[in-house]
Amino acid sequence: MDKALNRQRILLEHLLPTSSHSSISLDTHESYSLSPSICAAENSASYRGTATSEDDVVIVGAYRTAICKSKRGGFKDTLPDDLLATVLKAVIDKTKVDPSEVGDIVVGTVLAPGSIRAMECRMAAFYAGFPETVPLRTVNRQCSSGLQAVADVAAYIKAGFYEIGIGAGVESMTQDKLAPPGKTNSKVDLFAQARDCLLPMGITSENVAQRYGVTRREQDQAAVESHRRAAAAIASGKFKDEIIPVSTKIVDPKTGEEKQITVSVDDGSVRNASQMSDGASAVLLMKRSLAIKKGLPILGFFRSFSAVGVDPAVMGIGPAYAIPAAVKSAGLKLDDISLYEINEAFASQYVYSYKKLGLDPAKVNVNGGAIALGHPLGNTGARCVATLLNEMKRRGKDCRFGVVSMCIGSGMGAAAVFERGDF
């Protein structure tokens, strides 16, 4: 019996967060027993504890294009594969990693037909200089697709399938339109929540405001603050370390005249919901031991990821449930988190989410969010990773943990926890 208890104690020391180890008595086993809550993986990739390990998954590079208005902005005449190729090339050029060492590229993308966009992304990898031996796939979990791509790569590295991978995101809402589904299954009217999956996103935003009492004034105040913070961040050059300039063309719709331009600044919007936008991002992940061997600076540690389901009629509340799940999975509490990047799909759901969790607004979207910058659907999650980690780096040792989260169309939420790399 004593041997069994000792084995359990050792196992728990590995499973529980590092901060809890000191509380485990060597002589007693009261309050410590294996339970489903400790062992179950659920719908998450869990990296319990915060002590560094050679097997940790780390981020060594995270870059993005600027975000531009669809149909009217700087990327209106730029194809999505060109946007993606720019960031894929940048993440390799900046880190000096041999592209042939990359085990997989996973790209989050939403609007384009899956088989077509998968081929375009593969083409982008060739444009960026990757050899034919490097595979690529796409993933679509709607607005969390870019974050899902990063989480998938982290999970595959953790599982030992490969040591280096790229999680990316791309969306051209100029090229690929938001459109209602084609033929709908007649059974949809028999299942209220299935029917609600088809609600326009704007209606779900109104539902959140009405159901949870988010006032128009609160929404407008949140929008004003998002714009104020984004304008200040752009003016002070805070995004320069993460934005890769894109040399492209733009065509005058009246004259047809084509001219070459370089896009390096987000062009923003004026509204209290996210604009339809174009953009791409790429995040390079690898095992910590390999990053050290290559002498690469570690921007951050990937600590946990969770995706959850919520009522499709109020899909925007997803972050309020995904964030606690991811934070718990990382062995942390909300009070341990210094910064949040919560996608501002709509002001109503953004306000609801941070108020529901009791978050300090001074910690959330400190450089503005999607209301000001835009929301290229498949790109947003990866973009938020780049923005979060660069801001954590600027803030230094007083900023250890950060969270990226967003709501997801059809009623879901996703969140991931990151630890600053040089802590």
Q: Take residue 81 and report the two structure tokens written for it.
A: 């594969």
Confirm whether 68 is a catalytic residue.
no
The residue type at 60: V
Q: Residues 6 or more apart from 380 whose CB is under 8 A from it?
A: 143, 146, 147, 169, 171, 343, 370, 406
Helical ranges in 35-112 per DSSP H: 36-39, 80-95
Q: Are strands 277-287 and 68-69 parallel, antiparallel or unpaired?
A: antiparallel
| Residues in Cβ contact with 269 at an 8 Å cutoff, skipping those fewer than 6 apart | 69, 275, 371, 372, 374
Rounded Cα–Cα distance for residues 356 and 217 (Å): 17
Active site residue 143: yes
**What are the distances in angstroms from CA 195 to CA 141, 185, 190, 192?**
19, 10, 8, 5
Catalytic pick among 143, 227, 384, 399: 143
Q: Out of 227, 375, 384, 399, which one is annotated catalytic?
A: 375
Alpha carbons 102 and 133: distance in angstroms, whole number:
9
CB distance 414 to 307 below 8 Å: yes
The span from the CA of 197 to the CA of 218, in Å, is 26
Nearest Cα to Cα of residue 374 among 260, 306, 279, 264 = 279
**202/204 Cα distance (integer angstroms):** 5
227 catalytic residue (yes or no): no
Measured in degrees and rounded to the nearest 5, phi and psi for residue 397 equal -70, -15
Residues known to be catalytic? 143, 375, 407
